[in-house]
Each structure stands twice: as C-alpha cells, then as structure tokens.
C-alpha cells in the first residue's frame, strides 16, 4: 500500500521535534510521500487531489496535534482522486498523549501505528504489573476521607497523609452545603470519626511526602512525620495547656478571624482529637528551650514533649491517591475591591467561618467593631459577637475567576456558594438587603437551578453585572457597578461586601508534581489521563487524582470522584494487575505489536 | 421598526483597530469604571454588546464614542482583555468613515497600502509642482519679498484654496453627523431653542478639553499629563493653522523677527514639539498607559508626518534668519511635501476629531436636556428608586 504522511499542526509544534518524526516516518514501510504543511495550513482539496493522484497514494496519514481538524479536506481530496476516502487515518499527538517535552518517541509510535492502520491505543496497552495491597492517600479533606473509607471498608490497608494537625480540610470550615442547605459538619464529622477509628486506616497528620521510588504497583514511599509535640493517644483535650500558653496567633482554621494559641486544637471535633504545637510560633521551640515551656509543666497527663523530633516513616504501597485540594486566591491582589483596606470586605472563606455556629461570632453575621488595641494604642477592626448586623450585604461573584489577569478558568463553586450566602444572610438578619452581582449564573447541577430560583424568590436582589470597585464615602461603603439588564450604571451603599474569590491549586502542588513526575495543566491543577474516559487516572500508572486537585469541583462531584478512585484502586488490587506507566513501552515494542496486529 | 443586523460588522471593525471585541462577556466593569458614563450615555460595555450583535444602524447614530477621551481605565481593569478603550477609539475611526461622504476616510482606515500610497503620491506631486513653480517664476536665492522662490502671497492663495475645500468637506460631514445622530434618531423631540441654549459648549469643549481632565476624577493617583500634552498640542496646532491660513505673509517676513506674529508661532511650535515628542515616545516605548499599547497605522502617520512638518518648519525658519536662503527654500519644499498630504488626511482624522468631539458633547447635552423635558412631560412623579 502506498502511504502519504502529512504533518500539520494547529498550534506551534515547538514541544515535539516534528522534523525528526517526519524523517522517521519516511522510513516506515509503504510510506511514499511525506509532506510538512506547518501550522494551520490552508488546504485546497483540488491541489491535494492532484498530489495524491500523481503519487498514487492509497492511504493518507494526517499527523499533528489535532489532525481531525483537517480530515474533511483530505477525505474530499481522496474521494475526488477516486481512492477510498475511508483510508484517511489520523495520527493525533494530543489525543494519545504525546504532548510533553520528551514524547518524540511516542509521537513516532503514533505515526507508525497509523501507517499500519492499527489503533494506537490497541498497540500501546501498557504492561501490567503486580500490585501491593496497601494504598497511600495524600490529603485528608473530604476527597481523601471518602477514598480512604471506601478502600479501607473493602479491607485494604490505607495510609492517609495530612499536612495539618487534623483531617477535614476545607469542608470542616463550612456551615452549610448547597443546594440542600445540609449541615456540613453533620455529613463530614461522622466520616472523620470513622477514619480516626478505622483499623485499616493509618492516619498520619502533620506529615508530608518526602520521596517516592519504585514502579506502579510497588511504590516505596518515604514520609516525613513532623513533630506534633503532643502524644495523640494520651491527650484528652482538656484545654489546660492552651489556657496557659502566652502566644496568640491568628487561627488558620477560622480564616484568621479569631486567635489561637501556639498550642491548640484546630477545632473541637478535630481528628485526631488531640492538641498540637505550632513550632513556628511556640516560644519554647523558637528559643530552643530557653524560655517558656509552661504547657508541658501544667499538662495533667504529661503528654507534651517539647523536644520531639521529626521522624521518617517508610511504607510500601501499590497505589497513590492525590487529594490535595485547593487554596483561595489572595484577594489583596485585586485592589479595586478594597480587601484588606476596608474592614468589612470579607472573602468567601471568612464569611463561611463567620456564619458557622462554631465560628468566632457564634454564627451571627455582624460587621467588624472598632476596638483600641491595648498594647499598640491603635484602632483595629475585629469581629465581635455583639457587633452591628449589616443592613445591606453585597456578594460579588467571579472575583479573580474568569479573569485573564488572575485565573482564566471558572472556579465552578462560587455561584452556588454565593447564593447560599445570600440565603444565610436573609435567614439570619431580618429586613436585610442582599445583592448578588454576577456575570453568568452557573447553576448547573442537580437541584442547583431550582436553588438559584429559590434564592431569587426569597427576595435577594440578583443583579447582572459584576461590580467594578468598592469605595468608601465617609462611613458608607459604596459598590459601583453596572446593572446590565436595567441598563444603568449604579452605586449601591452597603455595609458588608463578600468576595466570591477564585480557587487555585493547594500550595505544594508543584513540588508534589515534580516529586511524582506528574504533569499539571496550564492552570496548575493535576492533569488527568483523559478528561472524558479516565478522569481519575494520571499518566503515571498507579497514581490517581481525586477532588479539587484535579480541577475545581463541588462537594458532590468530589465525593463521586473519590469513590471512583477507590473503585480504580480496588480493581487493581483485586485483579492483581495494575496498569503501568504509559511510557513503559519502547518505540520498537509498539512497532512490533502494531506489525503483529496488522498481520493478524 | 425591525433592526437589521450586520453579522460581519465585528470583522469590519478589525480594520479600524478593534480586534478583541468578541472576548467581552459583559461584566460591566468598564462602564462602572468609566468616569464619563452616566444615566443617559452609558459606555463602553453597551457598545461592545451592540458591536457583537452587529447593530450597525444603532452604532451609526451613537454619540457615545465621541464622549470618550481614552484614558484607558476600562481596558486596565478588563478581566477579558477585550480592550474596551481601543474599541471606542476604533468606533470613532469607524464613525468618521461613516460621516464621510467622500469615502476617503474609509479607504485610508481600512487599507494601509492605499493610505501610504496616497501620501507618497500627493507628497511627490506637491514637491514637483512647487519645484516647477519656484524654478519658473522665482529665484532660489530669494526666500521672501519680490522674486521669491515660493512667494508667500502664492502660498497664501494655495493654503486658502486647499483649506476651504477641506473645510467644506468637513462641514458637510459634520452636517451628516448631525443628521445621523440627532435628526434621524428622534427618540425624543428636540426643541430648537436647546441648540442655542447649549451653543456655548462648542467653544468651551474645543478650547479646554475639560472632559479629558475629568477622566481622572475616579482614579486615585491622577495622571493629568496626557490631557495637558494633548491640549498643548491641539492649541499649538490650531494657532499654527490660523497663522498659516491668515498670516502667512507676515510669518514669512524676515530676516528680522516680526514679534506680533512670530511670538504666536513660537508658542505654537513649543506645544507642537512637546506634543509630538511625547506621543511618539509613548507609542514607541508603549509606556504603562493602556492607550498607547496598540497603535493603528493612521496614528503613526499622524505623528510621524507632524514631526517632519514641525522639524522642517523650524529648520526653514532658522535658515531664513541665518541667511542660508537656498537651504531654507529646499527645506520649504520638503515641508510642503509633508504638509499637503497631511492636510488632505486631516478632515478624516484629527480635524474630524477636533470638530466631531465638541459637536458630540454639544449634541449630547442637547439630547440630555430633551430627555429631561420629555420625562417631565410624561411623568411628573419621579420614578421609584431601585430595590
């Protein structure tokens, strides 16, 4: 069969060495014609037809990042030339994952398979490997908890790694979940307790991945367990240590709205339910034992060891699940909204903590109160439970999301949680005016649209048009915006502004990706193997992604993905066959296989 | 009345410089940020929408693009980098071509080649013409007075002829603008006395460009430099134009400096030099201000030709004073070779701006008053506030 190979790219083909691939493809059996068409060529069926006829080409291979784009032209040309139009085959580099720097061999194999008329996926099934029965899960948020419970309930060992002192992640900070307005803690806390008590789950808090070696099915993992300085088994969470600790720092769990001590428990329902010491702020640890140490003296159980050291734990696992979650964008970057300048501009996480019954205001939505700091004699704004409730609240959508200057992508959850905020505001404060400023309302899930309609019918003013700026006029905060439906430029006087801030990958995602040899997409999230077909796998065999670390998603989707990951892990364990790295086959092996399938 | 949609309008605007309109997703940041957007005249977002929808007829009758002075605050904050400021600028170019009955504006804005070709041809024709005239009727060794190479009386007649032709074109276009924006677009009846009541706005906006300064009213760190430079360039330009049109004979006197006329010439030259250098520098180095990031070919033609004109103008003046009359005469020819194509370009670019912008502000305030009168007639009770 006489074969013609056409190279044409849609985007610049700088990642791959197209010339080398073309040279290679010219030596493949049957290839008579190799043409380089460059980036976005303008193809004319008539000229192509003439070329095909002149060279008596019976099969056309279109090779490139998105060759399907040009298929219609070639099909037409083949038909015009009187050849079989079905003999136009695609060698798609992007579809088959030849997108990284060192995937020239993979691209060559893709072209080779196409010339044989063999699907690449068939010829390039990775080798299967035996699988170790235990699993490592990185990240103890809802995704990690769900995956851990599903795998452990199936009777397989799980190591659950968590960087902070407790599992629970962001979901533990929330008050209500959308669209059902269920209590977030009521869903999460039982799961957390199950994790803490499960025989098959080895929970490692304050731990981070140190190194990974080995191959799919048999990873050798080194974990750094940072010192907690408190014996988890002995601690009864009596709070005496925290009472005597002199150091006060903003609480991370409370979105820095309230203060915690250097020895603290993140929240009362924390798992493991034990105190821990923040070594960065503890006086004893910072002065290397010269000062303080009062907590250790006062502890009735004598479970505080201020001289504890980090330890390295080594485990063998078959699969690794990434569930590292997200972080929020720094709202101070967007000066126009006045976050950090005006006291009553809150981020979504801060508002979430404020409205939570376990938060510093006991669930009351109040504006900040001006208080004089006794030490510095300066006025500062703090949240007090008896503060004034706002008369009007503005919730601004898409802050830092869908914005080419910050995040080009949609953070996917903001519309819904903003609507939830509007409900909570109107539920907790009588006669409050609540404005939602949105660009496009993305209420896409089951029951979401109904929820949005419900919020609108409750009397929240849903204004199309995101506000441009927040400014202070005297004591009154003014939100400037354009109401696009009314076609008016308007100013809203409000007492409180909530910014539906965009989401970014969790800190450390980049380090983790280099450690594990994973690729990330242009926005920084972990890349899945195939967006539609295998959304939980990665290109490295035996490594899975669950939850936000793959892309922004809400709690139902996160839980669903975590369960899907558990199914994938359990499949590999029960079948005893894990799928290896996609790069485990060499070029010649794929060529041989393609040849074999072709002759069969 | 059904609205006719032109789906290719957005592509057409590409030629005028608005390349990113389709990215706009209507968050309204630009309109809320714009210091000039008000109850009646809202922009730029509304016009981004109109453009995306291809409502050509509506765009044609718009006054809003002329109310914008391109301070760039909209483009600075635009989350989609759709560049609303540049879109308004492009709409002004497009509107000029719409008002223009000759079709020249459209040709120049959409085809770089034809613009450059026209400049080169008119420049060469001017050069040849004046050289021929000078060599036949004049003496290259004489700059002014009887027997001059290019006698100022001749230049004066030439200027006046050319100027009046251009002025007529411009006035016809201005009339067409009025017809499109106020006459045809009669959403409200406009009482005739409003035209007289508001007439003072024309010279006011022409000579002060007050709205350019008002662009800074919302910014925390105010940048008045572009306004001052723009104003000094414009004033220098207008003074020079008046001098050339009316006082060319006195201007050419020499070698002694004729202060009553020349003092104006010097003042105008300072304004022109500062202005051209500032704008060329801004466009070359694309300083941190949004409005200079993109430069349409016509912007370049304007500043570069102006720079040549100013430079040759200064040089011939200097050579005339220092007695190098032959050099002065040759530079004079070069000067004219730049002036004539530049002047021919003017009714379709900067003069158009000079005329249409104050006109638009004048029309806008008339329309605003007319709407108020209409509202009073229709509902004596003020409409309820939102919410």
Assess whether pLDDT exceeds 80 at residue B293: no
Report pLDDT for A176: 94
Same domain, B231 and B128: yes
How close is the nearest chain A Cα to the Cα of B387, in Å?
7
User: How would residue B146 be classed by pLDDT, with cut points 50, 70 and 90?
Assistant: confident
Taking an 8 Å cut-off on Cβ atoms, the answer to whether B32 and A467 are in contact is yes
Assess whether pLDDT exceeds 70 at residue B381: no
For residue B90, what are the CA distances in angstroms to B51, B72, B174, B182, B300? 11, 13, 19, 21, 15
> Which class does domain A327-504 fall in?
alpha beta
Q: Which of B27, B79, B218 sits opposite A465 (nearest CB)?
A: B27
Residues in B touching A405 (Cβ below 8 Å) = 79, 81
Taking an 8 Å cut-off on Cβ atoms, the answer to whether A486 and B80 are in contact is no
Which residues of A lie inside 8 Å of B (Cβ-Cβ)?
336, 398, 402-405, 433, 439-440, 461, 465-469, 480-484, 486-490
Same domain, B64 and B156: no
How close is the nearest chain A Cα to the Cα of B74, in Å?
10
Annotate A397-431 with b (16+ C-beta within 10 A) or e (fewer): bbbbbbbeebbebbbbbbbbbbbbbbbbbbeebee
Report pLDDT for A519: 85
Assess whether pLDDT exceeds 70 at residue B380: no
Same domain, B220 and B260: yes
User: How would residue B253 be classed by pLDDT, with cut points 50, 70 and 90?
Assistant: confident
Residues in B touching A439 (Cβ below 8 Å) = 25-27
E-assigned strands of A288-391?
A: 311-317, 319-322, 326-328, 345-347, 369-372, 379-382
Same domain, B18 and B135: no
Is B120 part of a structural domain of the chain? Answer: yes
Q: Are A495 and A517 in contact (CB under 8 A)?
A: no
How close is the nearest chain A Cα to the Cα of B31, in Å?
6
Q: How many CB atoms lie within 10 A of CB A95?
A: 17
Report, as an integer, the average pLDDT of B77-92: 91
Is B16 part of a structural domain of the chain? Answer: yes
Assess whether pLDDT exceeds 80 at residue B255: no
Least confident of A62-76, A355-369, B213-227: B213-227
Rounded distance between C-alpha atoms, residue A528 and residue A520, angstroms: 9
Q: Look up the ipTM and state it.
A: 0.83
Q: Are B26 and B349 in contact (CB under 8 A)?
A: no
Taking an 8 Å cut-off on Cβ atoms, the answer to whether B25 and A468 are in contact is no
| Single pTM value for the model | 0.84
Assess whether pLDDT exceeds 60 at residue B387: no
> Which class does domain A3-124 fall in?
alpha beta
Pick from B22, B30, B32, B386 the residue to mutate for testing the A interface (most A CBs within 10 Å): B32
For residue A137, what are the CA distances in angstroms to A157, A317, A318, A543, B299? 11, 10, 11, 10, 60
Residues in A touching B81 (Cβ below 8 Å) = 404-405
Six-digit token string for A458: 């409750």
Q: How many CB atoms lie within 10 A of CB B4?
A: 10
Taking an 8 Å cut-off on Cβ atoms, the answer to whether A468 and B30 are in contact is yes
Report, as an integer, the average pLDDT of B44-62: 91
Rounded distance between C-alpha atoms, residue A82 and residue A470, angstroms: 67
Segment of A322-336, B151-165, B316-330 carrying the highest mean pLDDT: A322-336
Report pLDDT for B288: 60
Q: Are A443 and A558 in contact (CB under 8 A)?
A: no
Assess whether pLDDT exceeds 60 at residue B76: yes
Taking an 8 Å cut-off on Cβ atoms, the answer to whether A483 and B386 are in contact is yes
Report pLDDT for A393: 96
Residues in B touching A487 (Cβ below 8 Å) = 42, 46
Residues in B touching A404 (Cβ below 8 Å) = 79-81
Residues in A touching B33 (Cβ below 8 Å) = 468-469, 480
Report pLDDT for B178: 92
Same domain, B263 and B135: yes
Which H or E element spans position A428? Answer: helix A414-428
Least confident of A341-345, A581-585, B217-221, B292-296: A581-585
**Cis amide linkage into residue B42, ω under 30° from 0:** no
Rounded distance between C-alpha atoms, residue B152 and residue B258, angstroms: 15
Report pLDDT digits (tens) over B10-43: 888 988 988 889 999 999 999 998 989 888 888 8
Q: For residue B293, which phi and psi values (nearest 5 degrees)? A: -70, -40
Report pLDDT digits (tens) over A181-235: 999 999 999 999 999 999 999 999 999 999 999 888 899 999 999 999 999 999 9
Report pLDDT for A221: 96
- Give me the residues paired with residue A501 across strands: A399
**Cis amide linkage into residue A480, ω under 30° from 0:** no
Report pLDDT for B349: 81
What integer best gives the mean pLDDT of chain A?
91
Q: Which of A433, A439, A489 sits opposite B25 (nearest CB)?
A: A439
Which H or E element spans position A261? Answer: strand A259-261
Report, as an integer, the average pLDDT of B229-246: 88
Taking an 8 Å cut-off on Cβ atoms, the answer to whether A482 and B81 are in contact is no
Residues in A touching B25 (Cβ below 8 Å) = 402, 439-440
The CA-based angle A391-A394-A399, given to 5 degrees, is 160
Give the residue with greater pLDDT, A160 vs B351: A160
Residue of A nearest to B79 (CA): A403
Phi-psi sector, B58: left (phi>0), alpha (psi -120 to 50), beta: alpha
Q: How many CB atoms lie within 10 A of CB B31?
A: 29
Same domain, B167 and B83: no
How close is the nearest chain A Cα to the Cα of B385, in Å?
11
Report pLDDT for A16: 83
Domain boundary among B99, B124, B155: B99
Report pLDDT for A19: 87
3-state secondary structure of A366: coil
Pick from B22, B23, B26, B27 the residue to mutate for testing the A interface (most A CBs within 10 Å): B27
**Whether the domain at A3-124 and the domain at A327-504 fall into the same CATH topology:** no
Report pLDDT for B51: 93
Assess whether pLDDT exceeds 70 at residue A401: yes
Q: Are A160 and A178 in contact (CB under 8 A)?
A: no
Assess whether pLDDT exceeds 60 at residue B384: no
Q: Percent of chain A at pLDDT above 90?
A: 67
Report pLDDT for B386: 47
Assess whether pLDDT exceeds 60 at residue B79: yes
User: Per the structure, how many domains does chain B have?
Assistant: 2
Is B141 part of a structural domain of the chain? Answer: yes
Report pLDDT for A173: 95
Q: Are A115 and A28 in contact (CB under 8 A)?
A: yes
Rounded distance between C-alpha atoms, residue A544 and residue A323, angstroms: 9
Residue of B nearest to A399 (CA): B79
Report pLDDT for A41: 85
Q: Are A112 and A27 in contact (CB under 8 A)?
A: no
Assess whether pLDDT exceeds 80 at residue B74: yes
3-state secondary structure of A35: strand
Taking an 8 Å cut-off on Cβ atoms, the answer to whether A481 and B32 are in contact is yes
How close is the nearest chain A Cα to the Cα of B318, in Å?
51
Report, as an integer, the average pLDDT of A479-492: 90
Give the residue with greater pLDDT, B294 vs A460: A460
Taking an 8 Å cut-off on Cβ atoms, the answer to whether B33 and A488 are in contact is no
Assess whether pLDDT exceeds 50 at residue A37: yes
Least confident of A340-344, A345-349, A426-430, A594-598: A594-598
Rounded distance between C-alpha atoms, residue A292 and residue A284, angstroms: 5
Same domain, B201 and B319: yes
First to last CA, chain A: 17
Least confident of A13-17, A485-489, B264-268: A13-17
Same domain, B95 and B237: no
Residue of A nearest to B31 (CA): A482
Q: Which CATH number fits domain A135-226+310-325+506-579: 3.50.50.60, 3.40.50.300, 3.30.70.1150, 3.30.2000.20?
A: 3.50.50.60
Q: Pick the closest to residue A174 from A555, A556, A562, A561 (CA basis).
A: A555
Is B384 part of a structural domain of the chain? Answer: no
A259-261 and A248-250 as β-strands: parallel, antiparallel, unpaired?
A: antiparallel
Same domain, B218 and B289: yes
Taking an 8 Å cut-off on Cβ atoms, the answer to whether A404 and B32 are in contact is no
Taking an 8 Å cut-off on Cβ atoms, the answer to whether B45 and A405 are in contact is no
**Cis amide linkage into residue B326, ω under 30° from 0:** no
Taking an 8 Å cut-off on Cβ atoms, the answer to whether B37 and A440 are in contact is no
Residues in A touching B27 (Cβ below 8 Å) = 398, 439, 465-466
Same domain, B67 and B125: no
Is B373 part of a structural domain of the chain? Answer: no
Taking an 8 Å cut-off on Cβ atoms, the answer to whether B81 and A466 are in contact is no
Assess whether pLDDT exceeds 60 at residue B123: yes
Give the residue with greater pLDDT, B280 vs A552: A552
Assess whether pLDDT exceeds 60 at residue B385: no
Same domain, B138 and B284: yes
Assess whether pLDDT exceeds 70 at residue B139: yes
How close is the nearest chain A Cα to the Cα of B196, in Å?
30
Which domain covers residue B231, as residue numbers? Answer: 104-368
Query: Strand order in A433-438's β-sheet?
Result: A345-347, A496-501, A392-399, A433-438, A461-464
How close is the nearest chain A Cα to the Cα of B113, in Å?
24
How close is the nearest chain B Cα to the Cα of A400, in Å?
8
Same domain, B126 and B157: yes
How close is the nearest chain B Cα to the Cα of A456, in Å?
13
Per-domain residue ranges of chain A: 3-124, 135-226+310-325+506-579, 240-298, 327-504
Beta-carbon contacts below 8 Å between A and B:
68
């Amino acid at each position: 069969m006489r074969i013609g190979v056409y190279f044409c790219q849609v985007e610049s083909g700088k990642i791959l060495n197209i010339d080398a691939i073309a040279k290679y493809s010219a030596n493949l059996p049957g290839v008579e014609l190799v043409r380089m068409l460059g980036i976005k060529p303008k193809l004319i069926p008539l000229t192509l037809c003439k070329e095909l006829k002149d060279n008596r080409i019976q099969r056309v291979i279109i090779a490139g990042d998105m060759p399907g784009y040009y298929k219609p032209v070639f099909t037409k040309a083949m038909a015009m030339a009187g050849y079989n139009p079905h003999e136009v085959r695609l060698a798609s580099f992007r579809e088959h994952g030849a997108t990284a720097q060192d995937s020239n061999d993979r691209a060559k194999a893709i072209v080779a398979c196409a010339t044989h008329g063999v699907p690449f996926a068939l010829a390039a099934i990775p080798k299967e490997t035996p699988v170790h029965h235990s699993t490592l899960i990185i990240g103890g948020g809802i995704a990690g908890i769900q995956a851990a419970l599903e795998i452990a309930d199936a009777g397989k060992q799980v190591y659950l790694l968590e960087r902070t002192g407790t599992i629970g992640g962001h979901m533990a900070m929330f008050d209500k979940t959308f669209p059902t307005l269920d209590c977030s803690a009521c869903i999460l806390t039982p799961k957390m307790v199950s994790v803490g008590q499960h025989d098959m789950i080895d929970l490692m808090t304050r731990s981070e991945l140190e190194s990974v070696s080995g191959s799919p099915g048999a990873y050798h993992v080194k974990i750094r367990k940072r010192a907690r300085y408190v014996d988890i088994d002995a601690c009864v969470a009596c709070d005496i240590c925290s009472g005597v600790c002199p150091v006060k720092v903003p609480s991370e769990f409370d979105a820095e709205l309230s203060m915690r001590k250097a020895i603290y428990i993140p929240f009362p329902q924390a798992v493991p339910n034990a105190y821990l010491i923040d070594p960065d702020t503890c006086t004893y640890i910072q002065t290397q034992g010269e000062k303080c140490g009062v907590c250790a003296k006062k502890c009735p159980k004598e479970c505080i060891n201020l001289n504890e050291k980090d330890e390295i734990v080594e485990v063998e696992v078959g699969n690794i699940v990434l569930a590292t979650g997200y972080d929020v964008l720094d709202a101070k970057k967007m000066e126009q909204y006045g976050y950090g300048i005006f006291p009553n501009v809150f981020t979504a996480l801060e508002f979430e903590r404020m409205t939570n019954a376990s938060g510093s205001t006991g669930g009351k939505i109040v504006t900040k109160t001006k208080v004089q700091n006794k030490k510095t004699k300066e006025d500062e704004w703090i949240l007090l439970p008896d503060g004034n409730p706002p008369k009007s609240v503005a919730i601004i959508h898409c802050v830092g999301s869908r914005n080419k200057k910050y995040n080009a992508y949609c953070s996917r959850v903001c519309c819904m949680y903003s609507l939830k905020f509007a409900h909570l505001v109107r539920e907790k404060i009588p006669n409050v005016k609540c404005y939602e400023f949105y660009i496009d309302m993305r209420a896409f899930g089951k029951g979401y649209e109904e929820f949005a309609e419900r919020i609108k019918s409750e009397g929240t003013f849903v204004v199309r048009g995101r506000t441009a700026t927040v400014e202070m006029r005297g004591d009154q905060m003014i939100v400037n915006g354009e109401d696009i439906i009314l076609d008016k430029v308007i100013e809203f006087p409000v007492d409180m502004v909530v910014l539906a801030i965009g989401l970014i990958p969790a800190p450390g995602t980049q380090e983790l990706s280099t450690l594990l040899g994973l690729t990330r997409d242009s926005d920084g999230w972990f890349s899945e193997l195939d967006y539609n077909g295998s959304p939980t796998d990665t290109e490295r065999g035996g490594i899975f992604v669950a939850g936000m670390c793959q892309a922004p998603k809400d709690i139902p989707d996160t839980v669903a993905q975590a369960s899907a990951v558990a199914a994938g892990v359990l499949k590999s364990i029960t079948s005893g066959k894990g799928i290896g790295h996609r790069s485990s086959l060499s070029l010649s092996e794929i060529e041989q296989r393609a040849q074999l399938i072709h002759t069969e | 009345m059904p609205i006719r949609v032109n789906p290719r309008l957005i592509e057409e605007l590409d030629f005028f410089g608005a390349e990113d309109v389709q990215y706009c997703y209507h968050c309204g940041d630009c309109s809320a940020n714009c210091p000039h957007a008000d109850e009646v005249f809202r922009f730029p977002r509304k016009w981004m929408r109109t453009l995306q929808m291809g409502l050509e007829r509506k765009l044609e009758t718009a006054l809003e693009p002329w109310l914008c002075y391109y301070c760039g605050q909209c483009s600075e904050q635009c989350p989609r980098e759709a560049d609303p400021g540049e879109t308004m600028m492009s709409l002004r170019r497009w509107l000029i071509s719409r008002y223009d009955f000759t079709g020249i504006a459209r040709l120049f804005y959409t085809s770089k080649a034809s613009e450059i070709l026209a400049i080169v041809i008119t420049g060469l024709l001017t050069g040849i013409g004046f050289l021929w005239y000078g060599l036949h009727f004049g003496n290259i060794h004489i700059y002014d007075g009887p027997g001059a190479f290019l006698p100022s009386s001749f230049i004066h007649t030439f200027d006046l002829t050319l100027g009046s032709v251009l002025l007529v074109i411009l006035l016809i276009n201005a009339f067409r603008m009025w017809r499109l924006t106020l006459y045809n677009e009669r959403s409200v009846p406009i009482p005739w006395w409003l035209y007289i009541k508001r007439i003072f706005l024309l010279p006011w906006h022409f000579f002060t460009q007050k709205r350019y300064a008002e662009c800074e009213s919302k910014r925390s760190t105010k940048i008045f430099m572009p306004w001052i430079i723009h104003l000094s360039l414009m004033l220098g330009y207008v003074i020079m134009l008046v001098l050339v049109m009316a006082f060319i004979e006195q201007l050419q006197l020499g070698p002694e400096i004729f202060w009553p006329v020349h003092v104006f010439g010097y003042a105008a030259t300072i304004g022109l030099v500062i202005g051209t250098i500032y704008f060329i520098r801004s466009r070359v180095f694309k300083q941190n201000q949004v409005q200079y990031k993109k430069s349409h070919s016509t912007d370049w033609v304007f500043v570069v030709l102006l720079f040549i004109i100013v430079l040759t103008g200064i040089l011939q003046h200097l050579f005339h004073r220092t007695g190098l009359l032959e050099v002065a005469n040759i530079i004079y020819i070069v000067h004219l070779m730049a002036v004539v194509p530049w002047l021919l370009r003017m009714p379709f670019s900067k003069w158009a701006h000079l005329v249409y912008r104050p006109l638009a502000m004048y029309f806008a305030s008339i329309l605003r008053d007319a709407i108020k009168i209409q509202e009073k007639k229709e509902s004596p009770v003020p409409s309820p506030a939102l919410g």
